[in-house]
Amino acid sequence: MANCHDLFQKFYDEVKLTPSKEDSLKTAREAIREKIRNYFKNTMKENHPKFYGQGSYAMSTIINPLDGEYDIDDGIYLQNLDLNKLKWPVPETVHNWIYNAVKGHTNENPIDKRTCVRVIYSGQYHVDLPIYGMFSNVPYLAEREEAGWHVSDPRAVTDWFKNEVKDKGEQLRKVVRYLKAWKDNKSKLRELPSGLVLTILAVNNYEKSDRDDGSFAGTVRNIYNQMLSSSTILNPVDSSEHLSDRITESQMENFKVKLSTLLSNASEALKEDSKEKACRKWKKEFGDRFPKCEDLKENGGPLRTSAPALLRDDSRSA
């Protein structure tokens, strides 16, 4: 059977951020933080917030998007709110604080979204700034309109993911990035679930292998089987929150259809004796960023995974 592990490694280098891009994003984030600190100190005469990175940037699962615009999240934790939560200002007020603090930071005006304030670096990336207040050591997100202040703890999700990687190994992080890159290539026509949902599904269904193509295929199979059994996707640190409620019925059906096609191509790729033919199966799913399939050196062999049963009859468990 064809071994495409080396092609996956090249693909991984293509979709992950380069060190220079990581430095650029970090510099932009720090500049925004300093602008907010100065606004609270010099204009509002209040204690400035604390900041905690969250989302894919904090988890180190961010990818190079096909449209070229990165999305990073930086949580703002206010330090000037009353100890009595009943005396907190409405979310619209604290959104205005942050909006005014970052206004003029780039050539484009910030966007005051429902759950965050967005700073736009045109054609490069945008930084989303969700705003939190702490009450009894519990973080509350300032969400505009009807939702208001409500419990939300993205730091706990980030810690959960990092612990899962520590326990299961760095290949898990790679599988998450492969899944996000697949979504990026397939989301042109119809929307697929968020990166957070894909991350949770990958962690809960991860299959370890000595090869990345085998690990990815096994994880996809497990995800597909889970979705056939139940479409419910829970927040891993708050089981009362059903993340699947954010996915419309049509989006969920579209996801299952695309997963089925992905699983079919992945299974066929693992069965192929020809590395070139296997590569073309993967390229159907990942797009042009996946390595070229011509003149490949054949390096087949058995596939060892953590699965208790065979992925297909040509691959075996460890």
Residues 200 and 286 in one domain: yes
Residues 136 and 170 in one domain: no
**Domain end marker among 133, 154, 175:** 154
pLDDT digits (tens, 9 = 90+) for 69-104: 788 999 999 999 999 999 999 999 999 999 999 999
Residues 108 and 192 in one domain: no
**Domain end marker among 154, 174, 202:** 154
Residues 149 and 259 in one domain: no
Residues 124 and 260 in one domain: no
Residues 193 and 133 in one domain: no
Residues 225 and 278 in one domain: yes
Residues 262 and 214 in one domain: yes
Q: How confident is the model at residue 310 (pLDDT cuts 50, 70, 90)?
A: very low
Q: Which domain holds residue 195?
A: 5-14+157-317
Q: What is the CATH number of the domain that holds 81?
A: 3.30.460.90
- Pull the structure tokens for residue 114: 């429902």
**Domain end marker among 100, 124, 154:** 154
What's the pTM? 0.88
Number of domains in the chain: 2
Residues 162 and 279 in one domain: yes
Residues 281 and 294 in one domain: yes
Query: Which pLDDT value is given to residue 125?
Result: 86
Q: What share of the chain has pLDDT > 70, as a percent?
A: 92
pLDDT digits (tens, 9 = 90+) for 25-43: 899 999 999 999 999 999 9
Distance of CA 77 to the CA centre of its chain: 22
Residue 315 has pLDDT above 70, yes or no: no
